[in-house]
Structures are given as structure tokens and as C-alpha cells.
């Protein structure tokens, strides 16, 4: 390693904004450390001269003060460090430094030369609207629950929701392949129930089963769902990996939209001084990994997201990312129907309203409750 | 849903210890909330009577005070809620509540009726020792780095480390399939280099390439490595999903040990009031997902783990879990050779010492540095 390294690099770099929770001198040191830790992970004095030292090691492109305890460093990395694969991109962005307190990924800026490696969502906002035949209004979504119901009971629920005008009926993310409602049987029954309702209403309600599954069964379940006539898929990338969702989205045999669910990802966002921003995780990374809609807990519900967090997710689902399509924000989690008008005012019309339990508590009749939800949204 | 639910449940339950960061009344409410949120995710008044209400909803089995702001609730769940699949087990343990601050998974107690669904590590401590032909002493491990070196340079490094007596040479976790050292070429060259050294030393040094890869390429890379003669695999389950590691470990075509790497998992452990304990994540879950050795940052290095955290990981790698084999703790991360005696005193002999950069800084000759490391450990 005496020789100076000369690599074949394009000169293209991607940028990551890191929020550093420390006093200025320490924050400066943290920024320098990130440049090494996320690339060569090697004692600075021994890093080979030439391209490795000059271009593989990250560059601090900008460093600015937010307040005495908070700084933002923008660090760039050669796009070649990612190998143009999602797991290694995640690794460069936040692999080892996830273990160091006080570092939070604020946002990603990925150049077209890197984004070219990723197809992103197959449908995005426009494609999902086309599938549903809903041009401009907000979309209505609910979940089949609770866990423990039989296939017949879940199918009956699907029928009622679809009859009442819900656009997207997803499995609750806790419905996997349990004995009380086995996956294949459940998918067939719920598809049939929704199709029956669609015949009656003339609408195109989509049923999206949960395909979050063991790694060797993900594609099998996704393909089964599509062949059975399901209108989309639910995946929790925290449980199976962002790249597993990417694989399903990229598979040309699969031509249905994907909703991502935030289960297990909470620890990445809930500590304001570390992890990943809501914007980057539920916006940018969900898109990069192929979701057409990104479910997250709405502010003011039973989870701890703030109004600003939610607005930032909405921004991340639509920010310019070359050919990567904008996707739907899908706020949910302890939402009541009463909050719909406030949410439309905040989020606008390109949104999926996910109302789960709230649709059951509004009144005893699920069809009526769904119709009420529909009319509430349609009237605005 | 008027009828009382009657499900086919075994009566077997698994237990999760949750540390709740709150005052007593709030902690009690959090525990009750976890029982619902992680299972039915449904308004409590509407949960169907019978088995769903009585047995699918979690049970608070124990609730005890640690101090005025901290309580531990032990909650049990019917094993059937997991569908006997790892992603859904993770979901029941910590899916939605990952998004709620103040809840930390302390430990899991999984009964044999649930563990039966998981093979765990193929080798474990005994199997890995057999592969290496090292009966009782601590194992020595290092990493090929820095990113940006050519295949020839990395192979040369492998040769020197193996010649010096290192037991396990792994790829740095940042080596993926970049153009400067493409995966297939790198694996073949490093395997050849290590085999050459093994012929000279009579030892059985194992080279473990990093197979953390896109979901559709994981098995291909793992199989290629094994066919090329690699002695093991490195996987970062935070980047690709715990169940992806489980799939590789379970695949009967693959008969080499696996080291897990903690990249991206940091946010789960670094906030003491939320996430998952070091014990459960790097001990219990790494084992359940098939790792034979669990890499984590040693205390006193450049990461933020405490001595107690590290001791708890060590305990988690060996605690009784039915047929699931004990695995090696593999502390690393900014470790110097000077700390080896202290670590043997703390961890004992069933340990993998991972020294990366420290093996380069000890002196200019990698073979000599490796021999020094070996003698240091062998002498103790």
C-alpha cells in the first residue's frame, strides 16, 4: 500500500445532511469521523494516498450552526462506494454511525447517476390513482382486523368496507400466516369479497394483503396475491429489510402497487438526536425502496410524531428525485373521522387516509361508517 | 363479530420483558396498551369476547418497579400470534411500539414450542471451533480494509493475516460489490491467498466474505462463496433484515458459519429508554436468526457501548434457548491489542476478538502484527 491509489471513479458524489448533536468542536470532529467511519473505517494516518484518501473518504461539503448544541454537516461520498446496491447505500449513509449517539440523517441528495440504479415505485401517485380510477380526491384506506378473526369474518369485513366506498383495504400488518386466518385462504376470500362489492358499486376498491413474510416466501406470497386478484401488497420493510421491498417492487412479474408499513422502524426516528429523519426514512427511502404509499402514524394520534414530522414526510414523498416517482403519504394510527377536514387542509389532496379502528367505533354498521368516511372526504 | 371467538390455541405463550420509562400510573397504562397494540390493534371495547380478548390480546404477567421512572412489565403472547415466522415474531415483540417512546425490550423468553420453528445457528460455538481446529483459546479475527483497495491488495492482506495466525479474516462490512474490488473476483482471490497461507502454517484460517447484498442476490453470493472455498459469511442483518440472515443460515446448500455485523442496528440500542436491549438484539435475536458469531462494538472503543452492555451481550449469546446453540460474542470496533488481556478476563475464552485497524497500527508488518496478536492470546 505504498503506492498511491488510482481508481476508476466518475467524480459523481451523493450528499447526506447529518444533524450533529454536540458543541461546535465536537461536532466538527464528528463530521470528520463520519467521513472515515462510513467509508474506509481505517486509522486516518494509514489511509493510502491518492483516490482512496482523496475521493473514497467522505468530504465535508458544508458545516453550519443550528444552535450551540446542534450543527448540520453535509458530507459527500463517491457514488461508487455504494456499489449501486441499496443495502450498501444504506450502509454508507448510516451503517456504523447508527451506533454512535448524536448523529441523525437529515436528508439525502442522490444524483441521477446514482438514482439510475434504482427503479423506485412502479406506480407512484399517478399510477395508483389510475388503478383506482380516482382522479383528484384523497384516497380512503382501512385495515382488516383484529387478529384472531376467521377468514370468513375478514372477508365479510372486506365486503362491507368496499361496499361503503373505501378505496384500499389492507390487511392489518399483524395478519401474517397464522392458523386462524391462513394467508392463501384469506387472500382468496378477501379478493372475492371485494370483487363482489366492486360489482355492486362500480368502484375499483383494491385489497392489499400483508406479504411481510420470511425471506424465502416473500415473492411467493406476492405472486400468489397478484394471481389471486389482489390489488396491491402491504410490506413492513423494518421487519424484512428495505431491499426486500425493493426486490418485490422491481420484479417484473409483479404489477401491483405496494404500501409500506412502519413497524419496527420507530427506533430510527423517535430519538430526535440520532437515527434518521422522518423525511428521509418515510419519504425518500420508502420511495427509493419501491413503495407507492408510505404509512406512518399521524400526529395527535396515539404515537409520538409531531405535526412538523408529518409535514416533512409529506415533503419527502414528493421531493424531486430524478425519475423516482412521487408517492402517497398515508397517515394513520389512532385516527378518528373527525380529523379528516383538518388533515386535508394540512396535507392537501394527494394523500391516503388510513382509518383503522376509528372506522369501527364511529357506529355499529361498517358499511354506513365507510360511506360516512367517503362522503366526508368527497365533500371537501 | 357478536359470537364469542373460539380459536385453536395450544395455550403455550412466550414472554417479553419490557422496560417502561414512565411514572407508575403511566407505565401501567403503557403495559396494558402494549397488550392490545402488538396483537389486535383495536379499540378495547370492540375486541371480540372469547379467545381473541382472552388469549390473543397480550397478558401482563408481572409488573415491577425499578425506580420511580422505570418499571418492567413482563407480557405474554400466544405463540400462535407469530405464525411461527421470524418477521411476525419481531412484529409482535416490537413492531408498532417501536414508534412509541419509552418502551424498551429487555429480554425474550421463548418456549420450546415456539423455538421449534427456528433452527438457529448451524454451527454455534462448538461447530465453529471444530471448523477452525481451535479447542479452547479465544479466536482471532480481523477485517480486510480499507475500501478502495484492489482485489490483489486485499488478497495480499489476507495472505499476511493468515500467515500470522489469524483464525478468521472477514471482509470489512463496507466491501460489497464495488468496481474497485468486485465481489466474485475478490472472493476467489482471497480464498486462494488464505489457502496458500494455510498450507504454510498448517492452520485452518477461514475467510468470510461480506454477502450483505440486494435481496435477490444474497443466496447467489453466499453459494458462490461456499463453492469458491470461503470458510464463512459476513451478514449485516440491520441492512438486509434478520430473516434474510435466517434464510441463509437455514439453507441446506450452505454449510459454513455466519458472522453478523451490527451496521444500521445502532438506533435500536443506543437510546436507553427505548428500542431493544443489547442482550436481546445482539444476543438472543442474532442467535435466533442464525448467526454463529455476533459482532458488536466493544466498550471503551470509539462507540458508546458500556462494559455492562457488552457483558449482557455475552450472556445473551449463551443463555439457554432450547436447541438453539450458544454463539460467539465478537467484540470489535476501535480495539487495540493492548486491551486483549483485560477482555479475556472479562469475557472468558469463548470469544472472538475482532481487531481491525488496530492490527495495522501496531507496526508496519502485518504478519508480525498478527503473530503478536496470536501470541498475546495464546499466552493467556
Q: Per residue in B343-373, pLDDT tens?
A: 888 899 999 999 988 898 888 899 999 999 9
CB-nearest to B176 from A83, A97, A143 is: A83
Q: What is the mean pLDDT of residues A223-244?
A: 98
Interface test with B, best of A18, A26, A42, A104 (most B CBs within 10 A): A42
Is B145 labeled as catalytic in the residue annotation?
yes
In chain A, the residue whose alpha carbon lies closest to the alpha carbon of B85 is A214
- Give the number of residues written for chain B: 380
Residues A86 and A287: beta-carbon distance below 8 Å: no
Among B148, B268, B269, select the one facing A56 at the smallest CB separation.
B148
Residue to test with chain B: of A50, A241, A301, most B Cβ within 10 A: A241
Tell me which of A170, A261, A278, A362 is the catalytic residue.
A261
**CATH 3.20.20.80: does it fit domain B13-115?**
no
What residues 144-173 of chain A have any CB closer than 8 A to a CB of chain B? Answer: 145-149, 153, 172-173
Give percent above pLDDT 90 in chain B.
89
Q: What share of chain B is helix, strand, coil (3-state, %, to 5)?
A: 45, 20, 40
Supply A35's cell numbers.
467521513
Cα–Cα distance measured from residue B170 to residue B157, given in angstroms and rounded to the nearest whole number: 11
Interface confidence (ipTM) of the complex: 0.97
Please give the residue of chain B at the shortest CA–CA distance from A154.
B1
The pLDDT of residue A131 is above 60: yes
Distance from the Cα of residue B185 to its chain's centroid:
27
At B155, is the secondary structure helix, strand, or coil?
A: helix
Contact A146 B39 (CB under 8 A): yes
- Yes or no: say if A81 and A212 are a contact pair by the CB < 8 Å rule: no
Q: What is the tens place of the pLDDT at every residue in B183-234?
A: 999 999 999 999 999 999 999 999 999 999 999 999 999 999 999 999 999 9
- Give the one of A98, A174, A243 whose C-beta lies nearest to B214's C-beta: A243
Three-point CA angle A65, A67, A71, nearest 5° = 40
Nearest to B215 among A172, A241, A269 (CB): A241
Reduced to 3 states (helix: H, G, I; strand: E, B; else coil), residue A132 is helix
Top pLDDT among A204 and A301 is at: A204
Average pLDDT over residues A242-253: 98
H-helix or E-strand spanning residue B371: helix B366-378
So what's the pLDDT on residue B3? 57
For A329, how many CA atoms within 13 A lie in the half-sphere containing its CB?
Answer: 30
Task: With beta carbons less than 8 A apart as the criterion, state whether A48 and A35 touch.
Answer: no
Q: Three-state SS string across B330-367, please? A: EEECCCCHHHHHHHHHHHCCCCEEECCHHHHHCCCCHH
Q: What distance in Å separates the CA atoms of residue A320 and residue A276, rounded to the nearest whole number?
A: 19
CB pairs < 8 Å spanning A and B: 322
Chain A neighbours among B 198-237 (CB < 8 Å)?
212-218, 236
Is B199 a catalytic site residue? Answer: no
In this prediction, residue B158 carries a pLDDT of: 98
Judged by CB atoms closer than 8 Å, whether chains meet at B83 and A176 is answered as yes
Sequence ranges of the domains in chain B: 13-115, 124-378
Band of residue A344 on the pLDDT scale cut at 50, 70, 90? confident
CA–CA dist B230, B10 (Å, integer): 43
**Is the distance from CB of A36 to CB of A58 less than 8 angstroms?**
yes
Contact B207, B241 (CB under 8 A): no
How far apart CA B351 and CA B349 sit, in angstroms, is: 6
Reference A44, options B162, B145, B174; nearest CA is B145
Residue A275, SS3 per DSSP: strand
Ranges A88-97, A137-146, B309-318, B333-342: which has the least confidence:
B333-342
Q: Per-residue confidence at B1, pLDDT binned at 50, 70, 90?
A: very low
- Look at B264 and A90 and tell me if their CB atoms are within 8 Å: yes
The three grid cell numbers given for residue B374, joined into one nine-digit string: 496470536
Mean pLDDT of B52-77: 98
Listed in sequence order, the residues at least 6 apart from A284 whose beta carbon sits closer than 8 Å to its beta carbon are A107, A108, A316, A319, A321
CB contacts under 8 A, B 78-117 vs A, are 80-83, 85-88, 90-92, 94-101
Instruction: Tell me what the mean pLDDT of segment B84-107 comes to.
Output: 97
- Per-residue pLDDT band for A3 (boundaries 50, 70, 90) equals low
pLDDT of residue B315: 97
Residue A343's pLDDT band, with cuts at 50, 70 and 90, is confident
pLDDT band at B2 (very low <50, low <70, confident <90, very high): very low
List CB contacts of A318: < 8 A, sequence separation 6 or more: A125, A283, A326, A327, A350
Correct CATH for A124-378 of 3.40.50.460, 3.20.20.110, 3.30.470.20, 3.40.50.720: 3.20.20.110
Residue B301 pLDDT greater than 90, yes or no: no
Give residues 11 to 30 of B whose Cβ lies within 8 Å of A.
none
Q: pLDDT tens digits, residue range B306-317?
A: 999 999 999 999
Q: pTM of this prediction? A: 0.98
Q: Comparing A13-115 with A124-378, is the CATH topology the same?
A: no
Nearest partner of A142 among A234, A217, A76, judged by Cα? A234
- pLDDT of amino acid B379: 85
CB contact under 8 A, A52 and B146: yes
Four-residue CA torsion sign, A59, B146, A84, A101: negative
The pLDDT of residue A357: 84
Q: What DSSP string describes B15-59?
A: EEEEEEES-HHHHHHHHHHHHHHTTT-S-GGGSPTBHIIIIIS-E
- How high does pLDDT run on average in chain B? 95
Main-chain phi, psi angles of A241, to 5 degrees: 100, 135
Confidence band, pLDDT 50/70/90 cuts, at residue B300: confident
- pLDDT over threshold 50, residue A143: yes
Q: Which residues of A touch B305 (CB under 8 A)?
A: 99
Question: Is the CB of residue A8 less than 8 Å away from at least one CB of chain B?
Answer: yes
Q: What is the mean pLDDT of chain A?
A: 95
The residues with which B258 forms a beta bridge, in sequence order, are B233
Q: Do A146 and B47 touch (CB under 8 A)?
A: yes
The SS3 call for residue A166 is coil
Radius of gyration of chain A (CA): 22
Q: What integer pLDDT is reported at residue A262 of this predicted model?
A: 98
3-state secondary structure at position B76: strand
**Percent of chain A scoring above 70 in pLDDT:** 99
Check pLDDT > 50 for residue A370. Answer: yes
With a cut of 90, say whether residue B335 has pLDDT above it: no
Amino acid at each position: 500500500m505504498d503506492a498511491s491509489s488510482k481508481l476508476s471513479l466518475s467524480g459523481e458524489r451523493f450528499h447526506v445532511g447529518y444533524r450533529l448533536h454536540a458543541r461546535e468542536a465536537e461536532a466538527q470532529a464528528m463530521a470528520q469521523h463520519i467521513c472515515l467511519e462510513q467509508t474506509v473505517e481505517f486509522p486516518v494516518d494509514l489511509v493510502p494516498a491518492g483516490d482512496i484518501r482523496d475521493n473514497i473518504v467522505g468530504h465535508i461539503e458544508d458545516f453550519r450552526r443550528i444552535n450551540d448544541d446542534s450543527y448540520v454537516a453535509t458530507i459527500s461520498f463517491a457514488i461508487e462506494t455504494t456499489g449501486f446496491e441499496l443495502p450498501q447505500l444504506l450502509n454508507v449513509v448510516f451503517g456504523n454511525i447508527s451506533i454512535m449517539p448524536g448523529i441523525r440523517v437529515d436528508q439525502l441528495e442522490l444524483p441521477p447517476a446514482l438514482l439510475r440504479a434504482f427503479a423506485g415505485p412502479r406506480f407512484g401517485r399517478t399510477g395508483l390513482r389510475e388503478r383506482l380510477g380516482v382522479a383528484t380526491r384523497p384516497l380512503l384506506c382501512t385495515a382488516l382486523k383484529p387478529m384472531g378473526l376467521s377468514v370468513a369474518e375478514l372477508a365479510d369485513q372486506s365486503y362491507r368496507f368496499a361496499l361503503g366506498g373505501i378505496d384500499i383495504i389492507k390487511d392489518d400488518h399483524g395478519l401474517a400466516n397464522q392458523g386462524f386466518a391462513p394467508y392463501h385462504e384469506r387472500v382468496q376470500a378477501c379478493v372475492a369479497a371485494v370483487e363482489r362489492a366492486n360489482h355492486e358499486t362500480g368502484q375499483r376498491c383494491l385489497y392489499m394483503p400483508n406479504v411481510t413474510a420470511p425471506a424465502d416466501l416473500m415473492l411467493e406470497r406476492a405472486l400468489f396475491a397478484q394471481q389471486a386478484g389482489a390489488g396491491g401488497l402491504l410490506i413492513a420493510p423494518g421487519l424484512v429489510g428495505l431491499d426486500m421491498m425493493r426486490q418485490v417492487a422491481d420484479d417484473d412479474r409483479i404489477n401491483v402497487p405496494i404500501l409500506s408499513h412502519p413497524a419496527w422502524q420507530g427506533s430510527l426516528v423517535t430519538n430526535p438526536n440520532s437515527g434518521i429523519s422522518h423525511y428521509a426514512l418515510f419519504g425518500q427511502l420508502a420511495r427509493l425502496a419501491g413503495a407507492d404509499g408510505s404509512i406512518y402514524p399521524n400526529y395527535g394520534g396515539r404515537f409520538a410524531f409531531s405535526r412538523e414530522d408529518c409535514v416533512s414526510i409529506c415533503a419527502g414523498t414528493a421531493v424531486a428525485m430524478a425519475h423516482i416517482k412521487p408517492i402517497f403519504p398515508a397517515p394513520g394510527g389512532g385516527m378518528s373521522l373527525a380529523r379528516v377536514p383538518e388533515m386535508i387542509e394540512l396535507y392537501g389532496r394527494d394523500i391516503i387516509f388510513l382509518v383503522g379502528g376509528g372506522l369501527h367505533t364511529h357506529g355499529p354498521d361498517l358499511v354506513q361508517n365507510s360511506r360516512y368516511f367517503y362522503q366526508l372526504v368527497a365533500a371537501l
